Structure 1
Amino acid sequence: MDYKVYRFSAKERMLYVLLIIGAMVGVSYLFYRSLWGLVVVSPMGLYFWKSIKEDECKKRKAKLAVQFKDCIKSVSASMKAGYSVENAFRESIKDINLVYGEDSLMSAELRSIISGLSNNVTLEEKLISLGERSGIEDIREFGEIFKIAKRGGGNLTEIISDTVSLMDRKSEIDAEIDVLISSRRTESRIMEAVPFAIIVYISATSPGFFESLYHNFLGIVIMTICLGAYFGAVVLSKKIVSIEV
């Protein structure tokens, strides 16, 4: 599996298509009072489709990163108990299945690793492959360090133990940053909804207030500029709160 590319399931595709179309129709009505406005808002629909895909991809990668860290912890414990590194990986699937289930991402990767070992594919090859496919820096670096240590006769038990410690510290930093910006994300989502809430409120309490902006060239231009400014603010806001360590 290439974790850098996310493919929607049929159920997800239908759900997000309906949500985006519904949102586009709503925006078109609020800003233009016409379905012709869909032509103008369609780029927003494409952006949000891509944005949802990127978010789902990040969630999957984050899930894999956590499961990989727990897998390496299990491997480290087994090696300290006297297992060889290959057998430690074989044993780790029991812990992963127990905690995350047999359908988890790391369980599938461990089955692939175990199958590869049975077919004379080296462990370092499988780890390097996982690092490349995952697009996760920690996994890629672990694979490269493991490959060098294995070929150079390094102390794998100590290296893996140190890697677990580094991953734990990285996770703590990630968690601290997430706490710091979580309130900003919430504020951003609220602010994204405010313009629509204002238009709906004024339209409901003062019918005809926006009529001069609909169905005429100048009004369409003004509303398009406002919508463009809003869209730009949404894109900028998303970039600001998307911090990677």
Structure 2
Amino acid sequence: MDYSRYSMSTKDWGIVFIKSMAATVIIAYLFYDSPIVVIAFPAVFAYCAKLCRQEGVRRQKEKLNEEFMNVLKVLSSNMLAGYSVENAWQEAEKEMEFMYGNDSLMLSEIQEMNRQIKMNQTFEAVLSEFAHRSSLEDIVNFSDIFSFAKRSGGRFVDIIESTTYRMWTKYDTNRQIEVAVSAKRLEQKTMNYIPIFLLAFLKLSSRDYMSALYGNLIGVIFMSTCLLAYAGAIKLAKKFLQVGIGI
């Protein structure tokens, strides 16, 4: 599975259609007061679909990262108990099935990796291939550290244990930051709608005042500038409040 891509469901397409239609109508009515702007619907729809795919990829990778961290804890515990890395990985498959059921990204990955290991592929090779497909920083780093520790020999299990501890510390810190930022993110989403409400209020309560902005070139340029500034502010605020997972 390529985790840099997201396959949109029928529900996703329906939500995108509704959001695109609503956005197009709002832009046409509030910013330009012209039904002609509705012809921009295909472009708005394509942009909303792109945003949906990006959000889908982000959620997909967050889910994969969370499940991988739990697998890492199981793997480290099994290796400390004396299992070889291959046997520890097989035990991790059972644990993931118990924890997440069949609705698990990592479970299918572990099953495929165990199948390749049984076909005489090395664990380092299948882990490296998975890390490359996931493109997640934590998984790539663990793959590199695992390969180095395997080649260098010595206190292999201790290296894996300490690596797991450090990665879990980082993961917990990111989760705490996410909780702290979530309230601000909700505030930001609420603030996004305030300019629209203000513009709608002015248009409904002061038609004569707003009419100067419609039906002329200067008004179109001014409202287009406002629309671009509004979209840019939303994008910038979203970027400020984004907590990365090493994507």
**TM-score normalised by L of structure 2:** 0.89
Aligned amino acid, residue 97 of structure 1: E
Task: Give 1:206 shift.
Answer: 4.2
Task: Give 1:41 shift.
Answer: 7.8
**2:20 and 2:41 in contact (8 A); partners too:** no
**2:17 and 2:45 in contact (8 A); partners too:** no
State the Cα deviation string for residues 95-149 of structure 1 (Å, max 9, x = none). Answer: 1111111231000100111110111111111111111111111101111111122
Aligned pairs for 1:16-27 (under 5 A) are 16-27=16-27
Tell me the residue number matched to 1:52: 52
> How many residues get paired?
245
Higher RCO (CA < 8 A, seq sep 6+): 2
**1:73 and 1:164 in contact (8 A); partners too:** yes
State the Cα deviation string for residues 10-44 of structure 1 (Å, max 9, x = none). Answer: 43233223322322222222211223224568766
Task: Give 1:61 shift.
Answer: 0.8
Tell me the residue number matched to 1:29: 29
Equivalent-residue separation in structure 2 for 1:40 and 1:228 (angstroms): 15
Equivalent-residue separation in structure 1 for 2:109 and 2:180 (angstroms): 33
Tell me the residue number matched to 2:117: 117
Task: Give 1:159 shift.
Answer: 2.1
Task: Give 1:208 shift.
Answer: 4.8
Q: CA RMSD in A?
A: 2.2
1:193 aligns with 2:196: no
Equivalent-residue separation in structure 2 for 1:213 and 1:231 (angstroms): 19
- Bigger shift: 38-47 or 163-172? 38-47
Distance change (3 Å), C-alpha of 1:121 and 1:35: farther
SS class of match (2:103): coil
SS class of match (2:220): helix
Aligned amino acid, residue 229 of structure 1: A
Equivalent-residue separation in structure 1 for 2:8 and 2:158 (angstroms): 40
Tell me the residue number matched to 1:167: 167
Equivalent-residue separation in structure 2 for 1:128 and 1:238 (angstroms): 32
Distance change (3 Å), C-alpha of 1:90 and 1:70: same
**1:28 and 1:41 in contact (8 A); partners too:** no
Task: Give 1:218 shift.
Answer: 2.5
Aligned amino acid, residue 4 of structure 2: K
Tell me the residue number matched to 2:150: 150
Tell me the residue number matched to 2:234: 234
Ranges in structure 1 where 5+ consecutive residues have no aligned partner: none
What percentage of aligned pairs have identical amino acids? 34
Task: Give 1:63 shift.
Answer: 0.9
**1:20 and 1:48 in contact (8 A); partners too:** yes
- Bigger shift: 206-215 or 158-167? 206-215
